[in-house]
Structure 1
Amino acid sequence: MSAQADFIEEQGESGRILRFTGSLSIASLGNVPARLEALNTPIDEIRLDQLDHIDTIGAWLVHKTAHDHDAEITGADEDATRLIEQVAKSHQVVRMRPDRTNAFARVLGEIGSATAVAGQTMLGLLGFFGATCVAAFNVIRHPSRLRINAVIQRFEVVGVSALGIIGLMSFLIGIVIAQQGAVQLRQFGAEVYTINLIGRLTLRELGVLMTAIMVAGRSGSAFAAQLGTMKLTEEIDAMRTIGVSPMEALVLPRVLAAVFMMPLLGFYASIVAIIGGGMLCWVSLGIPPITFIQRIQEVVPITDLYVGLVKAPVFGAIIAMSGCFQGMQVKGNAEEVGLRTTAAVVQAIFMVIVLDAFFAVFFTWIDWI
């Protein structure tokens, strides 16, 4: 049985020495901690060469004594030294209340952190875009590697299954545009120009933009959640182990589906919105459907349709890559899946709106107005 813990104070050549003896374990400490607290004289060196045993509690006691007296620890064997070092790494002062910081400095720090995160995300997204392009190039070189069944299945998920909700949303938006436009234009006796407003706004902007926002919330979030769960369960690592590229098998089919389906969904949303606006014009303004259709053909240039069809595949690519990128970043726990899914939707919608503003300026510059 190990001896009871104790210590001896000595006077050495370099100053006061505290020599521990016996077993520095929780069962053998006795009143040693209280006696150490009562020490009034400074200690310059702590020697452990006569210890029989030391556990974590004893190592903490030695470290605390050395820390309080700024003393050097000597004579410890390899195991005791390693234990004391591990205890020292865990010695951190915990504040019950954090220091109050200046409000301006705190806001500035949060802005800086958000800017750094945005920059890192943008760099990561650019790298992911490059990896997607490489995967697409490899599939073009080796067409047999294209998983056509996966692409068709994503066509159904992104496109066919979304027809109902996008159609309802577009129909109601067409009604709202027509009603609000008619109310404002009635003040000038120009209710007939409500048709111009409906046709140009839906084909050029709102049809594609609202469809992109709906697809981002519906399909972009699904992509992030699916890939995030696969990443969490190590299915993606298993695919790499057996020689299957996750970019070709998982990401590329989703990107292709979004790119090809977005123009169709955008055109469909625009037509349904025009139908909704036309019905309100018929009921509220007394404009018959035939007159409405003829007026649409007269006032809506074909370039408005081209603008919507040019923007749609770009929006689809952004939505799919944002969802897949955030899903591939999942690590740690299930909560990360929810956080990354939210980030994918917010990121996709933000980038879609930014690109829509860019397209608006660009098409004005090339005189497609």
Structure 2
Amino acid sequence: MADLDETGTDQGRGSVYRVAGALTITRAATTQREIDALPDPITIDLSDINRMDTVGAWIIYRTVRDRGAKVVGASHDEVSLLKQVSEFDKPVQVHPEEKPGFLRALQELGEWVTEAGVTMLGLLGFFGATLIGFANIIRRPKRFRTNAVIQRFDVVGVRALGIIGLMSFLIGVVIAQQGSVQLAQFGAEVYTINLIGRITVRELGTLMTAIMVAGRSGSAFAAQLGTMKITEEIDAMRTIGVSPVEALVIPRMIASIVMMPLLAFWAMLTALIGGGIFVWLDLGIPPLTYVQRLQEVIPITDIWVGLIKAPVFGFIIALAGCFQGMLVEGDSEQVGTRTTMAVVQSIFLVIVLDAVFAVFFSSIGWV
């Protein structure tokens, strides 16, 4: 317990508060009351003190700050503790200062650009790790996991045929219906077949398939790898000398690259069937005429454009899904967050690449 020695006043010096023993939390209330009762100016004498904790230092510091007290007789340790207390004496702002709307928008834009740049650098690094994994498999073919690839063929391709076929069929019907309504204003309903054939084979067949695969398979890749990160299965694989890239990432990438052209062709076919049924029932154009017209209006380059883009889109979807899955850390909430980011990132990159492909094929004359 602190032995709080005599306090007194002197006409020349003012009040003197002498402390002997320990100045700790156990005597904080008493010490504060005694100091508050003294008139200014106050001199606090710490020459006889043997121990002082943070609470005691705060009382002394606050007296110096608020009442201009003078401290004498403090040792080096006590002076150091008082300095530390003063460094942490900063005003706390409960409600942050509201910035102008323009500055807030500029700050959010800067944060978004920074985050996008960091993500793109991480994606580029993951792409490099994937290339190294492919190179290792080429040098050591026995490390190639055939069963895993075949299983991914089934998940990415075979099980997606139903939903992609139905979606593409309905898209073909919608294109035919909307196109015929607009072209009817000019008496050119027959050109609905041109619209269905060109837009389906060249763009929508591959693009809509990529969006569906990103939402279906890309999200699954991120969720699966993210769950394996949380359960430390990936760390266990590294411990036993198995590369997660070779065992988990590459089979998914191969499946996406191989199955995307097949799914895109299937989407083109079902969309053309949907459009053909509509023009047969609504415009009275028989199926034979429809097929003959498609052969006339669809150049072979349109088919090549769609099929060339498909494996690139598949690679991007698998890359983004696996990359986000490998970034999962902490808890299960991260799995949902990274899965959402994988889908958004995949679709964004697919659309950007589709625009790049459109400019490229137009520049080489494939229009």
TM range (shorter): 0.7 to 0.9
Partner in structure 2 of residue 318 of structure 1:
316
**8 Å Cα contact 2:61/2:82 also seen in 1:** no
SS at match of 1:221: helix
Query: Is residue 24–residue 51 contact of structure 2 (8 Å, CA) maintained in 1?
Result: no
Q: 1:162 maps to what in 2?
A: 160
1:295-310 to structure 2, matched below 5 A, reads: 295-310=293-308
Q: Distance in 2 between matches of 1:7 and 1:198?
A: 100
Alpha-carbon offset, residue 321 of structure 1: 0.7
The answer for the alignment partner of 2:75 in structure 1 is: 75
Offset from partner CA, 1:169-194 (integer Å, 9 cap, x none)? 11110000000011111111111111
Cα offset, 1:94, TM superposition? 2.5
User: Could you tell me whether the CA contact under 8 Å between 2:2 and 2:24 is conserved in 1?
Assistant: no
**Hey, what does 1:269 align to over in structure 2?**
267
In the alignment, the residues of structure 1 paired with residue 325 and residue 251 of structure 2 have an alpha-carbon distance, to the nearest angstrom, of 15
Could you say what secondary structure the match of 2:115 adopts? helix
Instruction: Measure the CA separation in 1 of the matches of 2:75 and 2:172.
Output: 84
**CA shift at 1:152, angstroms?**
1.4
In the alignment, is the contact (CA less than 8 A) between 1:60 and 1:84 conserved in 2? no
8 Å contact kept, 1:10–1:19: no
**Equivalent position of 1:31 in the other structure:** 30
Which deviates the most, 308-317 or 42-51? 42-51
Aligned partners of 1:118, 1:46: CA distance in 2, in Å? 59
Give 3-state SS (helix, strand or coil) of 1:31's partner.
helix
1:280 aligned partner: 278
- Displacement, 1:8? 7.3
Secondary structure at 2:309's aligned position in 1?
Answer: helix
TM-score with structure 1 setting the length:
0.86
Greater Cα offset, 333-342 or 141-150: 333-342
Note the C-alpha offset of 1:336. Answer: 2.0
Structure 1 segments unaligned to the other structure (5+ residues): none
Instruction: Find the counterpart in structure 1 of residue 122 from structure 2.
Output: 124
Give the superposition deviation at 1:141.
0.8
Residues 83 and 357 of structure 1: is their aligned pair in 2 closer, same or farther, counting only changes over 3 Å?
A: farther
Residues 128, 91 of structure 1: alpha-carbon distance in 2 compared, 3 angstrom cutoff: farther
Between stretches 259-268 and 225-234, larger displacement belongs to: 225-234
Pick aligned residue for 2:326 from 325, 328, 340: 328
> Matched residue of 1:30: which SS?
helix
| Residue of 81, 100, 103 corresponding to 1:102 | 100
Measure how far apart 1:254 and its partner are: 1.2
Residue of 170, 173, 176 corresponding to 2:174? 176
Q: Indicate if the aligned counterparts of 1:5 and 1:28 stay in contact, CA closer than 8 A.
A: no
> When the two structures are aligned, how many residues end up with a matched partner?
361
Once the two structures are TM-superposed, the CA of residue 33 in structure 1 deviates from its matched residue by 3.4
Distance 1:132 1:117 in 2: 22
* C-alpha distance in 2 between matches for 1:146 and 1:253: 9
Q: Does 1:220 align with 2:218?
A: yes
1:50 Cα deviation after fit: 2.5
Q: Name which of structure 1's ranges 176-185 and 90-99 shifts more when overlaid on structure 2.
A: 90-99
User: Judging changes above 3 Å, is the alpha-carbon distance between structure 1 residues 93 and 329 closer, same or farther for their aligned structure 2 residues?
Assistant: farther
**Alignment-derived partner of residue 115 in structure 1:** 113
Match of 2:336 in 1: 338
The TM-score, its normalising length taken from structure 2, stands at 0.87
- Contact 1:47 1:76 (8 Å CA) reproduced: no
1:161 alignment partner AA = R
Q: Using the alignment, how far apart are the partners of 1:89 and 1:239 within structure 2? A: 48
Checking the alignment, whether the CA contact within 8 Å between 1:23 and 1:29 is kept in structure 2 is no
Q: Distance in 1 between matches of 2:218 and 2:345?
A: 10
1:251 maps to 249
Are residues 32 and 209 of structure 1, via their aligned partners in 2, closer, same or farther at CA, if it must alter by over 3 Å?
same
What residue is the counterpart of 2:350 in the other structure? 352
Q: Aligned partner of 2:164: which letter?
A: I
Q: Which residue is equivalent to 2:237?
A: 239
Q: Once the two structures are superposed, what CA deviation does each residue of 1:183-211 show, in whole Å capped at 9, x if it has no partner?
A: 11111111111111111111110011011
Name the structure 2 match of 1:152.
150
Instruction: Please name the residue that 1:134 is paired with.
Output: 132
Counterpart secondary structure, 2:29? coil
CA contact (8 A) 1:155 1:257 kept: yes
Distance verdict in 2 for CA 1:111–1:25, change over 3 Å? same
Any idea what the Cα deviations from partners look like across 1:202-229, whole Å, max 9, x if unmatched?
1110011011111111111111122122
Match of 1:50 in 2: 49
Further displaced range: 254-263 or 2-11: 2-11
- Contact preservation (8 Å) 1:20, 1:51: no
SS in 1 for 2:49: strand
* SS in structure 1 of the partner of residue 329 of structure 2: coil
Kindly provide the amino acid, as one letter, of the partner of residue 50 in structure 1.
I
Ranges in structure 2 where 5+ consecutive residues have no aligned partner: none
Distance 2:102 2:208 in 1: 38
